[in-house]
A and B are shown apart, each in its own frame.
Chain A
């Protein structure tokens, strides 16, 4: 399976600022997924990013708040914009596995907004 490097592993940010999270994969993949895990909660899909096209966002998530880039088949970024304490979460990227189903996850970025 693919190996994912996700950075930063954690950060503490001031409200109103933005943070960009990077996800690097050791092999080419078509689909990449970004998830959010709020404290004590399960994972919720933010968006699906395919190379060469706009990301597809899930209900409740918008591009202005979570812009995503996917410049090539091994890399993606998620930006959390104009942060508030409610954005404090773990953000994880995931890449497709067998049959096109994302099943390998990065180690996550633990974000705290103060």
Chain B
């Protein structure tokens, strides 16, 4: 069965500093990987996705993620954080073998200090 682990429950970062959120997945073949953001009281917004091809994926709002098969990771990065990036971030994995369903990690809450 597919699974996703986000090791960091909370991360606090200063505005303007860089941000990296970790995501590790467990799946036998190449999964389809996603990062979503959920602002307080809001629904989920897709930041980026990886299906195949270039392992460095660019997303919206200045985010990028890198798929590393050898490490079973799909970490999310942003070079310079803005106060509006304070939110909950979820990594998710999907696969055809799992019936096209998404399995979500536990989430990482990002706090941005002025």
Contact = CB atoms under 8 A, between A and B. Distances in A.
Question: How big is chain A's contact interface, by range?
Answer: 20 to 34
Interface string B56-83: 0000000000000000000000000000
Interface in A20-44: 31, 33, 41-44
B90 A43 contact: yes
Contacts, number: 60
A101 B90 contact: no
Interface string B101-114: 11111110000000
B84 interface: no
Interface residues of B, number: 23
A92 B43 contact: yes
Given A101-B32, A102-B100, A42 B94 contact: no
A61 interface: no
Interface of B: 32, 34, 36, 41-46, 49, 51, 90, 94, 96, 99-107
